Structure 1
Amino acid sequence: MKSGYLLSISQSYFRYATHHNQVRRLQSIALRREDKSHWERRVALTPDTVSRLIKETGAGAIVQEDISNADVILGIKEVPTNHLIPNKTYMFFSHTHKGQLYNMPMLQDILDKKIRLIDYELMTDAQKRRLVLFGTHAGYAELAKSAVKDIGDAIADDGLPDDFNPMTFVFTGTGNVSNIAPYTSMLIHGSYWDSRYPRLITKDQLREIQENSNNRRLLCIADISCDIEGALEFSHSTTIDDPFFYVDAVKNVEHKKYANIYLYYTYKVLDSDFTFYICIRDEGKGTQIMAVDILPTEIPRE
C-alpha cells in the first residue's frame, strides 16, 4: 500500500497492547512523511533517535513508501483520511480532544477503521504536565530576548509616531484580556484554551473596539495557540507563505489589504541579520491577525 509515507524502522523489540488487551511484540515503527503543509519539516523521530534505536535494539531502518506492515505509525500533524490505514496504532497531534469540528471527519474515520490514536497533546505525567512539547528548538526563543531589548533601545532613541504612542504589547497568560484589549496595540496570545473557559475576545467585543473612531488600538494580534474559533472567536489558521489577514468586525468581513510599513529595525541573532517591522496601519479597516499553526518550522535547519 503506497500512500505517501517515508521511513520505517523494522525488527525492534518493544511490546505493546492490542485492541483486545493482548500484549504482543512490536515488530516495526513507521515514520510518515508529513503532507498537511509543504512547509512542515518537523518529524516525530530525528535521525539521531533512529540511529540510537538501531544501535540499542538491534533494529534496522529502511526508507520506503509502503508502511502498511508497520505496527505503530508516528507523525506530527493530522493524517488525511485516505492515508489512514485500518487497525493500526497512530501517534500524532490530532487536534480533536477539544471537539474541533474541522477534524471530526478524521476522528470518525479513525473510529470506523478501528485505529488506536495516541495524541501527543494528552500524554502527561502524574502532575498532568504535558510530556511532548516543542522540543529543544523552542529554546532558541531565548536568543530573541536580547534582540527585543535592542529593538526597545532603538525605539527609545528614534521614537514612534505620536498618533500611536504609547505602543503597548500584551502577552496572554492568565486574566481577562478583553478588559485591556481596547488599550493594547498588539496582542500575543499563547495560553491554553478550551470550551470550559470564556473567550479572550469575541467578535462582538472586537466590533465594539473598532467602532470607536477615537481608538487606534489593537492593530495586530498574533495567535500563537491558534485554536480555530477558540479563545479568539474570529481567528483561523494561516500559512507561512500567507500568514496574515484582517478582520473588519464592524462590517463582519475579512480581507487581505496588507499594511504599509513605517518602521523597521535590523538586529543580529547568531551572526545573522534580521529585520523587525512594525505595521502601523493597513490600507483598509480592521485588525491584522497572524495565526500560523506550525511556527516552529520557521526555525532554519542550520
Structure 2
Amino acid sequence: MKIGIIREGKIPPDSRVPLIPEQCAAIMGKYQGVDIVVQPAPGRCYPNEAYRHQNIKLTEDLNSCEVLMGVKEVPVSQLIPNKTYFFFSHTIKEQPYNRKLLQAVLKNNIRLIDYEVLTDERGRRLIAFGKFAGMVGAHNGIMAYGNRTGLFDLVRMKDCLDYAAARQVYKQMQWPAMKVVLTGTGRVGKGAALVLRDMGLKKVSPEEFLTQHYEEAVFTVLACADYAARKDGKPFQKQDFYQNPSAYKSIFAPYAKVADVMINGIYWDNEAPAFFSLGEMQEEDFNIQVIADVTCDIAPVSSIPSTLRPSTIPDPVFGFDPAAGAESEPYQPDTVDMMTIDNLPNELPRDASKAFGQQFVEHILPELLKPHSKVIERATVAANGQLGPHFKYLKGYVEGVGV
C-alpha cells in the first residue's frame, strides 16, 4: 500500500499533519510493503525538511498512491479520482456548505473515509483532535474575557511553541474572580477542563457554582443531566437523551445568570434543545459575556443562537448584539463576545498532530491493512460511486432535496 500525505488545500490552510515524520518512518519500518510519500507544503508544523530527514520522499505527484490522507476538507478541484481519502469531510450532518464536495466524491468514484466516524463496536471514536480543540477553546475563551474586561492579558496559544510553553505562561498569570461554565464531558470537555485546571482555576460542583459566591476564579463542568431534562417530567436517562433528543428541554438558564464565560464542548444533535434562545439572551439577567463555542454548529440549527459563523485564528472573536440579533464589533457593552474558530487544534499543531498520528498508527492503520474491516466500513461515507452502507440517509442531501 502506498500512502500519500496531501498538501492542505482549504483556505486558510491548516498547519496540522495526519502523521508526523517519525511516525511515517516507524510505519515503513514496521510494515513491509507500506510506503509513504509527502506532498511538499509551506507552513506545516513539521516542515518538509523534517520529513526528508526521516528519509520520507517528497513529491508533487500523488497519482501512484492508493490512499491519500489530509486533515481538513479537500477542495473539489484538487480531488484525484479513484482514490481512497481520509479527511474530516463535514458532510455527515448534511452541512450545506459541503454538499458539492460529497457530490464530487461520488462522481469521481472516491472512497471517502471520514475520521469523525472511525469508531469501535460500541460507537466510541478511535481517532480525534477533540482534546486539543477543547484545550485551545478554553484558552481562547479565557483570553477573550481578559480582552473584554481589561483585567488581564493572555498570550495566544498559537504564539506558544507547544502546550508545555503555554503552561509556563499560566504559572505567571493572576486571574480575577470569574465563573466559567464548561459543557461536555467527552474529549473536548476533558481537554478544556485540563487547561482550566492547569491555569489554576478551582473546580466546583454545579450546585456550588449556582449558589456560592467566590473571590477567586472557578469553573464547573456540566454533564447532559445538568443542562437538559425531559419535557414530560420523567427522570433523565442518558441513553434516552441520545436516542430521543427532541423529547428534552434545556434547563441551562440558571447557569447563564451567574456565569461570566461559557465554554461549549458538547456533541450536539440537530433535534436536541438549544442551551438558550435569543429571547433569553436579551433578558437583563443573562450574565454570560464570552462564549467559546468549540462545538461550532452554525445557527439557526445550533445549540447556541449567537454562533452565526466560524471565526478564524487570525481574527478569533466577533461580537453578538442580542438586541439586534446580529453580529457586532467585539468587546462592546451590551454584547456577547463569540469565539467560534472551527480549526482550534491548529493553534496547537505539533502536540495535536503527534497525538492524532499515534491514534492512527495504533487503531486505524491495522484495520486499513485488513482485507475487510468493520471499523473502516462504518466510516466509509462513499465508495464505488455510492453512499456507504451507514450513510444512505445522505441521499436527499446529495440530491439537493429541500434546498
Question: Within 2, Cα distance between the matches of 1:172 and 1:84?
Answer: 41
What pairs up with 1:132-143 in 2 under 5 angstroms?
132-134=127-129, 141=191
Residue 219 (str. 1) matches residue 293 (str. 2): no
1:183: Cα distance to partner? 3.4
Residue 179 (str. 1) matches residue 253 (str. 2): yes
1:167: Cα distance to partner? 7.7
| Distance change in 2, residues 1:135/1:254 (3 Å) | closer
1:69: Cα distance to partner? 2.5
Question: Within 1, Cα distance between the matches of 2:221 and 2:263?
Answer: 5
Question: Within 1, Cα distance between the matches of 2:222 and 2:90?
Answer: 21
Question: Within 2, Cα distance between the matches of 1:100 and 1:178?
Answer: 26
Give 5+ residue unaligned stretches, structure 1.
Answer: 1-25, 153-163, 260-282
Equivalent in the alignment of 1:101? 96
1:168: Cα distance to partner? 7.2
1:137: Cα distance to partner? 6.2
Residue 255 (str. 1) matches residue 304 (str. 2): no
Q: State the identity %.
A: 35
Among 61, 81, 86, the alignment partner of 1:86 is: 81
- Contact 2:16 2:349 (8 Å CA) reproduced: no
Equivalent in the alignment of 2:303? 231
Equivalent in the alignment of 1:16? none
What pairs up with 1:1-302 in 2 under 5 angstroms?
26=1, 28-38=2-12, 40-58=14-32, 59-60=34-35, 61-134=56-129, 141=191, 144-149=195-200, 171-174=221-224, 175-176=227-228, 178-180=252-254, 181-201=256-276, 205-210=277-282, 212-213=283-284, 215=285, 217-229=287-299, 230-235=302-307, 236-256=309-329, 258-259=330-331, 283-299=332-348, 301=350
Specify the SS of the correspondent of 1:296. Answer: helix
Which one-letter code corresponds to 2:195 in the other structure? Answer: A
Which one-letter code corresponds to 2:81 in the other structure? Answer: P
Provide Cα deviations, 1:162-213, integer angstroms capped at 9, x if missing partner: xx99987564531235423233321110010121322223xxx233332x34
1:47: Cα distance to partner? 0.9
Question: Within 2, Cα distance between the matches of 1:240 and 1:64?
Answer: 29
| Distance change in 2, residues 1:168/1:137 (3 Å) | closer
Question: What is the aligned-residue RMSD (CA, Å)?
Answer: 3.0
- Contact 1:39 1:240 (8 Å CA) reproduced: no
1:92: Cα distance to partner? 0.8
Provide Cα deviations, 1:7-61, integer angstroms capped at 9, x if missing partner: xxxxxxxxxxxxxxxxxxx3x1111112324462211111111101221234554
1:146: Cα distance to partner? 4.8
- Contact 1:198 1:231 (8 Å CA) reproduced: yes
Equivalent in the alignment of 2:173? none
1:144: Cα distance to partner? 3.3
- TM-score scaled to structure 1, two decimals? 0.68
| Distance change in 2, residues 1:187/1:97 (3 Å) | same
Question: Within 1, Cα distance between the matches of 2:221 and 2:265?
Answer: 7
Question: Within 2, Cα distance between the matches of 1:193 and 1:89?
Answer: 29
Question: Within 2, Cα distance between the matches of 1:187 and 1:99?
Answer: 27
Structure showing greater relative contact order (alpha-carbon pairs closer than 8 Å, 6 or more residues apart) = 2
| Distance change in 2, residues 1:48/1:167 (3 Å) | closer
| Distance change in 2, residues 1:137/1:179 (3 Å) | closer
| Distance change in 2, residues 1:39/1:217 (3 Å) | farther
When the two structures are aligned, how many residues end up with a matched partner? 236
Specify the SS of the correspondent of 2:278. Answer: helix
Q: Which has the higher strand share?
A: 1
Specify the SS of the correspondent of 1:187. Answer: strand
Q: Which has the higher helix share?
A: 2
- TM-score scaled to structure 2, two decimals? 0.52
Which one-letter code corresponds to 1:107 in the other structure? Answer: L
Give 5+ residue unaligned stretches, structure 2.
Answer: 36-55, 136-162, 164-190, 203-213, 229-250, 352-403
Equivalent in the alignment of 2:396? none
Provide Cα deviations, 1:216-254, integer angstroms capped at 9, x if missing partner: 601111101222232223312111110111111321220
Specify the SS of the correspondent of 2:257. Answer: helix
Which one-letter code corresponds to 1:247 in the other structure? Answer: F
Provide Cα deviations, 1:234-289, integer angstroms capped at 9, x if missing partner: 31211111011111132122012x32xxxxxxxxxxxxxxxxxxxxxxx3432111
Equivalent in the alignment of 1:270? none
- Contact 1:185 1:218 (8 Å CA) reproduced: yes
| Distance change in 2, residues 1:292/1:182 (3 Å) | same
Which one-letter code corresponds to 2:281 in the other structure? Answer: I
